[in-house]
Amino acid sequence: MALLFFREVAKSYGVVPVLKGIDLTVEPGEVLALVGENGAGKSTLMRIAAGLAPASTGTMLLDGAPAPGTLHEAERAGIVMVHQEFCLAPHLTVAENVFLGRELTRGLFTDRKAMEVKARALLAELGSDAPVRARLRDLPVSDWQMIELAKAFARQPKLILMDEPTAVLSATEAGNLFTRIRAFRKSGGSVIFTSHRLDEVKAIADRVAVLRDGQIVRVEKTSAISENEMAEAMVGRPLAEIYPPRRGAAPRKAFLSVTGLSAPGAVEDASLDIREGEVLGISGLVGSGRTELFEALLGLRPAKCRSFVLRGEERKLPAAREAWALKLAYLTEDRKGKGLLLAKPLDQNVALTSGAIAGAAWIDRRAERRDLEAAVERYDIRAGRLDVTAGALSGGNQQKVLIAKTLGVEPDLVVFDEPTRGVDIGAKQQIYEIIAGLAAEGKAIVVISSEMQEIVGLSDRVIVMRRGRSAGELSGDAITENDIIRFAMGLEEASPQEEASH
């Protein structure tokens, strides 16, 4: 008998359907992956299964009995959910968090020692040696994820729901988690998880269910479906080449040349050329100073430099607002924290930067509305209604709004910092087209990205950062993932060109 059985389950908010006619079963000892684009309904389905949100219609059975309708009932029935956002208390210790709400007691008091011993064991099973007495706030995010997972396993559930469990984990940590999941499966436990990484799905799941527009469009054994087929099922059409065609190497005019740029604690003595009509890729490990380099260049953090030649004219480093006025634009990697006002309507977001640079004292609301409509058309922003807030859009559409906002100042240089983070495949492709289109117009483009394929696929030239300096430069057909990694890890000497500038 199936552990979890969904038949014709539907969910709508008001009149808007989010899930339609979901049929799904999960067997005991099975790992099921849910994949789909942002907004396809994965999270809603998980929330219904976890008792966090009631289904509008449909039958749900757990072990043949009606499935629990509230979070507490679900927990008692052996279902726990590991959220993407952490549900942990930063000021409590690791052990206290693992047993939060389920404290082990001895008499009237909590049994700290027993909890610490057990927490250590639970974490060890996940390959984590996070100190159980440390307060959570002192630990890195990857530890948090492990603690969240340990907390889930501590409940000894029958079914664990994991929403993007590997998003903040390193490859090793993800491997440890998979080992733990396999052990859990062996002991009869079931797992439903979501992931954007299709290779992970292939590696760990027994079956995969693909969601699109609130419906399950395909359910297969993972052995019977390729990653490419999964991706095609997600977008609902064959995937063409995702990257735009490469433009041939050509001599290009320097737009901005900087030498000896330093920002305290982040960038040391960096020099680079940014050229018109060229996509310059910036790679490097997290913490190598990629973002900081361009923040320093555009006045967003304190910095100094030896020379700053813009459009052939020497000048000093610009301040933040000056940079915008000089038509140098920076598109932040932190969309929610630095990019968009999530609580504000779309038209205000789109108008924000251009209004701050060159707007009149009085606001022309009709013009803002027209600009938004134009942006929706041009960047294919899918919002349904235009009077919703930016926070109501999916990640990909938010990113397009951010692009519209940034390009609203008609910049000559655009620095795209992680332009496709948290964006699904369909939107990714569109963003690549926008970037290529800008380069074709002769704009100077910089793309900072952690995704190696993105750097290789988009860039005409690549600078690899390492410890606040440029560690190497590659261009044209010489751009390969292998070389980028070697530079990023410090395995290769700097290129001759790089040395010449020192």
Partner 1 sequence: MTDMTATTAGVAAASPGRSLVRLLEAAGPLLALILLMIVGSLMSDSFLGAENLSNVFTRSAIIGIIAVGATFVITAGGLDLSVGSLSALVAGMTIMFMNAAAATLGDGWLLVAAGIAFSLAIGAFAGFINGFMIVKGRVEAFIVTLGAMGIFRSVITWLADGGSISLDFSLRDAARPIYYGQVLGIAVPIIVLAVIAVIGELTLRRMRFGRHVAAIGSNRHVAFYSAIPVSRVRILTYVIQGLCVAVATVIYVPRLGAATPSTGLMWELEAIAAVIIGGTALSGGFGRIWGTIVGVLILGFISNILNLTGFISPYLNGAFQGAIIIIAVLLQRDRAQG
Nearest Cα neighbor of 190 from 2, 471, 452 is 2
Longest Cα pair distance anywhere in the chain, in angstroms?
Answer: 79
Residue placing its CB nearer to partner 1 in the complex, 3 or 34 = 34
Q: Measured from the CB atom, is 14 or 245 closer to partner 1?
A: 14
Q: Using CB under 8 A, which residues numbered 400 to 439 contact partner 1?
A: 405, 409, 422
Q: Does 391 bind partner 1 (CB under 8 A)?
A: yes
The H or E element containing residue 104 is none
> In the complex with partner 1, which residue's Cβ is closer, 161 or 484?
161
Cβ neighbors of 75 (< 8 A, separation 6 or more) are 51, 155, 157
Tokens found for residue 207: 């079956």
Residue 212 touches partner 1, criterion: CB under 8 A: no
| Residue 341: CB minimum distance to partner 1, A | 5
Closer to partner 1 by Cβ: residue 255 or 324:
324
Nearer to partner 1, 11 or 469 (CB): 11
Counting contacts by CB under 8 A, is residue 472 touching partner 1?
A: no
As a whole number of angstroms, the distance between CA 175 and CA 245 comes to 35
When binding is defined by CB under 8 A, the residue of 51, 78, 244, 339 that contacts partner 1 is: 339
Q: CB of residue 336 vs partner 1: minimum separation in angstroms?
A: 8
d(CA 435, CA 443): 10
Binding mask 291-330 for partner 1 (x = CB under 8 A): ---------x-------------------xx--x-----x
Report how far residue 300's alpha carbon sits from residue 395's, in angstroms, rounded to the nearest whole number.
Answer: 24
Q: Which is nearer to partner 1, 56 or 259 (CB)?
A: 56
Q: Candidates 13-21, 152-160, 453-461, 470-478: pick the segment binding partner 1 (CB under 8 A).
A: 13-21
The answer to whether the beta carbons of residues 444 and 278 sit under 8 Å apart is yes
Work out whether 370 is an interface residue with partner 1 (CB under 8 A): no
Closest CB to partner 1 among 211 and 474?
211
Out of 235, 341, 452, 485, the residue judged to bind partner 1 by CB under 8 A: 341
Question: Using the rule CB under 8 A, is 215 a contact of partner 1?
Answer: no
* 384 makes contact with partner 1 (CB under 8 A): yes
Could you tell me which residues are beta bridge partners of residue 447? Answer: 281, 416
Q: How far apart are CA 16 and CA 370, in angstroms?
A: 27
Find where tokens 């399950």 sit: 216
- Per the DSSP assignment, residues forming a β-bridge with 162 are 82, 193
- Cα–Cα distance for residue pair 479/476, rounded to 1 Å: 6
Smaller CB distance to partner 1: residue 40 or 122? Answer: 40
Contact between 15 and partner 1 by CB under 8 A: the answer reads: yes
What are the tokens at 115?
């909890």
CB-CB contact of 268 with 288 (8 Å): no
Closest separation in Å from C-beta 302 to partner 1:
14
Question: Within 10 Å of residue 180's Cβ, how many Cβ atoms?
Answer: 19
Answer yes or no whether residue 360 interacts with partner 1 by CB under 8 A: yes
Rounded to a whole number of angstroms, the minimum distance from the CB of residue 16 to partner 1 is 5
Minimum gap (Å) between residue 141 Cβ and partner 1: 16
DSSP 304-318: B-SEEEETTEE-PPP
Which region among 216-224, 244-252, 331-339, 426-434 touches partner 1 (by CB under 8 A)? 331-339
The pairing of beta strand 461-466 with beta strand 279-284: parallel
Contacting partner 1 within 25-44 (CB under 8 A): 38-39, 41-44
- Of 72-80, 97-105, 229-237, 385-393, the window that binds partner 1 (rule: CB under 8 A) is 385-393
Binding mask 158-197 for partner 1 (x = CB under 8 A): -----xx---------------------------------
Phi first, then psi: give them for residue 291, nearest 5 degrees.
-65, -45
**452 sits near partner 1 (criterion: CB under 8 A):** no
Where are the strands (E) in 47-106, listed by range?
A: 57-62, 65-66, 79-82, 105-106
Closest CA relative to residue 419, chosen from 440, 401, 399, 394: 399
The answer to whether residue 338 forms part of the interface with partner 1 (CB under 8 A) is: yes
Of 327, 303, 489, 478, nearest to 408 by C-alpha is: 327
Rounded distance between C-alpha atoms, residue 165 and residue 458, angstroms: 29
Residue 20 Rama label (left phi>0; alpha psi -120 to 50; beta): beta
Give which of 52, 50, 106 is closest to 79, Cα–Cα: 50
Where is 468: in which H helix or E strand? none
Compare residues 278 and 424 and give the one whose CB is closer to partner 1: 424
128 interacts with partner 1 by CB under 8 A = no
Q: What is the x/- site pattern for partner 1, positions 65-94, by CB under 8 A? A: ------------------xxx---------
By CB under 8 A, name the binding residues for partner 1: 13-16, 18, 38-39, 41-44, 83-85, 163-164, 300, 320-321, 324, 330, 332, 334, 337-344, 348, 352-353, 355-357, 359-363, 384-385, 388-389, 391-395, 405, 409, 422
